[in-house]
Structures are given as structure tokens and as C-alpha cells.
Amino acid sequence: MTKVRTRGLSQPRREPDDDASAAEPDDDSGSAVIRSSHHAARLTTAASALLWLLVGTGAIGGLAAWFTRPADATSARPQTVRSPVGPTGWAEAFVSTYLRTGEGEEDQLRMFYPGVPALDKVTPVAASPTMMSTYTLRSAETAPGYWAVTVAVTEQATASVGGAGSGGTGGTGGTGGTGETDGFAGAQDSVPTPRPAGDVLACYQVSLLARGDAIAGGVDPTGSPSGYAATRLPDRVSCPPTLSGSPNLALDGADVGLNDPVNDVVRRFLAALLTGDGEVARYSSPGAGVRSIVPAPYTGVELVSLARDTAPAANNDPNEAPAPADGQRLRVLATIRVSGPDGIRMLSYPLRLTARAGRWEVSSLDSTPPLRGAEPPPVAPAPTPQDTSAPLTSPPAEPSAGQPSTSQPAAGWPTETAPDPMAPASAAADTAAATPASPESASR
């Protein structure tokens, strides 16, 4: 019993020893925790350094891109497109008024060109607006809101016939006149009578400044009042030449005399369109949207020629053509002769035809016939000038006081003073003999 008690008393003494040993930290595990903490700190430092390196690289790249950007680089804002409609229409009105304005009529031009100079000795080209037509050929901005417009004008050319005094046709300038004023309509004693000599195409260039928003061709905010002003008088320029040859169309001629359904439907369709003879819808495809012209401008239509992109199908009967297959398409160019109150004219119509239910119908009115090949004809070379005479120049400067004048008036420029009618006949004869004759007067 005594031994049992001794063992029972000794066990509680060992229990505190076990708890104390369990509470003591392990040296190996503490070392591992410390090492992991140092490793995490090093990773954090490396990541921070890498991040700042990337930030610095980006900043350096941005600065380099800023300082090395192209000189013509523009902002990403969309550029405003200014409409040329206002400037071109205003330029046409300016040229039309300019050609009808002469000496003493500067006020008519001042509404277009506030700085118009005195139009001394200027004579109008046309007396009424019906004698000319204006067309805009080209418009371009040389600066924002500053326009250069080229206007083509169909002028009525005139030829000088007769004339007062003894000058004759294109005269030599009146009694005692010399060849220096030959052919100039403003000569003092010889005023040739103009007569119509057909129409000529002339081109003028106008420079003008536009005010207003983009719709008016200006640079002001939207809704701003618009206005225009020329910066100078118009100048005469050469008109664009025609091409050296006719463009090659992807069409071939066909005999309009054959009893071809294509010829028949084209003829009937154009008659309904232009004369009101029949209904356009009867000869056009559903949904084509073609309507007859009201009121009818002509009274008769005759088919002159018909070119087509595919040849008519062969048939044993030369007077009959086979019916087309549904959905078959055809492009034609019809040249017709029309008659009306203003006489007889010729017109050309490019058309598209589509077959439906065994017959041809006009499916659309084309604006252009098809071309064959991608290479257009070249531009014709500039013609060689036939007139090699010297250009019209300014009158010579007046001599200073006390010095005699040794210069002669330029050819074609009017003399400032007319011959003295009271001069003796002998003096006039001496003057005429001493003055060399012009080539035209010599030929006469």
C-alpha cells in the first residue's frame, strides 16, 4: 500500500514538467518563421523597385514621343468640311455682273467687290443676262474660308464691222490716224460696230473671302450670319481642254430597223416619258420609280440609234427576235431625235432593261453609260496660239516737265488725244508719211 501511494504522489510531480516542456518554443520552427519573413520583405522590395522602374520608363517614353512628334501632327479632332455651294454661286453672280459692267457702273460691282477701282474706258461684254451662261468648274480653299473659284462663261462673241470715220474695218484711227490704234474698239475717231459672231467659252477665276458657318463656306460658329467679298477683280484663265478621243463605251451598235422587242420598248418608253403618249409604268419594271415629265416638253420622238452591251440573240427569222429569259439584264444607250415648240433636238438616254414574263422592261434610267477598259483617253495637248501679236500693255508714263516725249503708245492701246482737226492738211500729210504703216494697213 505504501508503494502505491508513493507512485500516486509522484505522478502529479511529473505533470508540471510535461506542461512546461510543451510550452517551451522550438528553436527550429522559430528560425523558419524568421527566414520566411525576411524572404517576403525582399520580394516586396523587388516588386516595388520593378514597379517604379516601369513608371519611370513610361514617363521617359511619353516625353520622348512628345518631343519627337512630327511637325505636321494635328489633333484628333475631326476637321470641319466647309461647303463650296455658297462661294461658287456667289462667284458666278460676280462674274456675270462683272461682264455686264462698264465705265461709270462701279456701284454694280461694289456689292461683290467693295474695293472696285474706277472702270475707266471699260466697256461691258454683254448687255443682258440672256447673252451668257455661267458654270462653276472648280473651287478650292487656299486658306480656311478663303476660296478660289473658276467660272466658265458662254459669251456671245462679236466681230467688228465698219466704223465711223475713215478707219474702215478695224480702222486705223480716224483722220491722220496711225497703226498704233489699229483694231482697238475704243479709238477716238473709229468705233467699229459689233455684230454677233457665235458663242465662245471663256473662263475666269475669282478669289473671295467667306464669312459664316461651315454651310456658308466660312469658319465662324454655327448659325453665324454669312456674307462674301471678293479680294480683287476676276482674271481670265485658260479653260480645261477636252480629252484627245472619245471614251470607249462597253456598248455595240444594233440595227434599229429590225423588229426587235428591245427597240420597241425603248421607243415606246421614251415617247411616254417625253411626250405623254402612253403610260411610263406600262414599259417599266415594278418599283422602277420612273415618272413622265409634266408638262410634256416634246411632241414627237424618233429612235435614231441604239447601242447595247450584248448583241441580239441569233434567230432564223431576221425580222423576229426570241423572247428573253426572265431576269435577263441589258444596258443600252438610245439616241433619239425629238421635236417640240423650240425645234428639233437630239438626246441620248442610258437605260437598264430587265426581262420579266417574256418581255423587256426599263428598270432604271442610268446617269452614265458603261465604259470598256479602265484607261481613259489622255487630255488633249494645248493648242498652239495663232495670234502672236504683243499683249496689251499699259500706256507709257508721262514725260516730266520740260522733257520731250520719245516713247510711242503700245500697239492696241488708244491714244489719249485725238488728232488736231485744225491742223493744216500739209502737216497731216507729213505726219502720215512719217508714220510707218501697220501690217494690216500695208496689206490693204
The reported pLDDT for the residue numbered 360 is: 93
Sequence-separated (6 or more) residues with CB below 8 Å from residue 398: 405
Question: 56-65, 157-166, 239-248, 344-353: lowest mean pLDDT where?
Answer: 157-166
Cell of 360: 423587256
Residue 378 pLDDT grade (very low, low, confident, very high; cuts 50, 70, 90) = confident
Question: 304-308, 326-330, 387-391: lowest mean pLDDT where?
Answer: 387-391
Buried b (16+ CB within 10 A) or exposed e, 371-394: eeeeeeeeeeeeeeeeeeeeeeee
| CA distances for 94 relative to 72, 128, 145, 162, angstroms | 36, 14, 18, 33
**Region of residue 425 (left: phi > 0; alpha: psi -120 to 50; beta: else):** alpha
The reported pLDDT for the residue numbered 264 is: 92
Give the Cα-Cα-Cα angle 25, 31, 36 (nearest 5 degrees).
Answer: 125
The reported pLDDT for the residue numbered 245 is: 80
Question: 106-120, 181-195, 342-356, 376-390: lowest mean pLDDT where?
Answer: 181-195
Residue 131 pLDDT grade (very low, low, confident, very high; cuts 50, 70, 90) = low
Element (H, E) at 203: strand 193-211
The reported pLDDT for the residue numbered 183 is: 42
Residue 281 per-residue DSSP state: G
End-to-end CA distance of the chain: 177
Strands (E), 240-368: 252-254, 300-308, 329-340, 343-356, 359-365
- Do 87 and 208 meet the contact criterion of CB atoms below 8 Å apart? yes
Q: What does the mean pLDDT of the chain come to?
A: 74
More confident residue, 100 or 312: 100
Cell of 245: 478621243
The reported pLDDT for the residue numbered 126 is: 59
Q: In the predicted model, is pLDDT for residue 216 greater than 90?
A: yes
Q: Where are the alpha helices (DSSP H) in 293-420?
A: none
Sequence-separated (6 or more) residues with CB below 8 Å from residue 173: 167, 180, 181, 182, 187, 188, 189, 190, 415
The reported pLDDT for the residue numbered 41 is: 78
- Alpha-carbon distance of 181 to 166, in angstroms, equals 13
Q: In the predicted model, is pLDDT for residue 393 greater than 70?
A: no
pTM of the full predicted structure? 0.56
- Alpha-carbon distance of 81 to 123, in angstroms, equals 40
The reported pLDDT for the residue numbered 438 is: 43
The most confident of the ranges 26-40, 119-133, 336-350, 395-409 is 336-350
Q: In the predicted model, is pLDDT for residue 100 greater than 70?
A: yes
Question: 38-42, 100-104, 162-166, 241-245: lowest mean pLDDT where?
Answer: 162-166
Q: Around 81, how many Cα atoms within 13 Å sit in the side-chain half-sphere?
A: 2
The reported pLDDT for the residue numbered 398 is: 46
- Alpha-carbon distance of 199 to 9, in angstroms, equals 144
Q: Around 251, how many Cα atoms within 13 Å sit in the side-chain half-sphere?
A: 21
State the burial class of residue 441 (Cβ atoms within 10 Å of its Cβ: 0-12, 13-18, 19+): middle
Residue 128 pLDDT grade (very low, low, confident, very high; cuts 50, 70, 90) = low
Check the CA dihedral 281-282-287-289 and report its sign. negative
The reported pLDDT for the residue numbered 332 is: 94
Taking Cα atoms as reference points, which of 348, 358, 260, 356 lies closest to residue 310? Answer: 260
Sequence-separated (6 or more) residues with CB below 8 Å from residue 311: 252, 254
Domain boundaries, the chain: 24-68, 85-164+190-237, 252-365
Give the Cα-Cα-Cα angle 333, 268, 265 (nearest 5 degrees).
Answer: 60
The reported pLDDT for the residue numbered 46 is: 82
Q: Parallel, antiparallel, or unpaired for β 146-161 and 133-143? A: antiparallel
Question: 85-94, 113-122, 296-305, 370-379: lowest mean pLDDT where?
Answer: 370-379
The reported pLDDT for the residue numbered 172 is: 37
Residue 382 pLDDT grade (very low, low, confident, very high; cuts 50, 70, 90) = low
| CA distances for 355 relative to 156, 299, 358, 363, angstroms | 48, 29, 6, 9
- Do 299 and 308 meet the contact criterion of CB atoms below 8 Å apart? no
Q: Parallel, antiparallel, or unpaired for β 359-365 and 343-356? A: antiparallel
Element (H, E) at 148: strand 146-161
pLDDT in tens, 399-429: 444 444 444 443 444 444 444 444 444 444 4
The most confident of the ranges 91-100, 183-192, 376-385 is 91-100
The reported pLDDT for the residue numbered 92 is: 95
- Alpha-carbon distance of 92 to 83, in angstroms, equals 16
Sequence-separated (6 or more) residues with CB below 8 Å from residue 122: 101, 102, 103
Q: Which fold has domain 252-365?
A: Nuclear Transport Factor 2; Chain: A, (3.10.450)
The CATH code of the domain at 85-164+190-237 is 3.10.450
pLDDT in tens, 316-370: 565 666 788 899 999 999 999 999 998 999 999 999 999 999 999 999 999 999 8
| CA distances for 393 relative to 82, 238, 389, 408, 410, angstroms | 39, 20, 12, 12, 6
Fold agreement (85-164+190-237, 252-365): yes
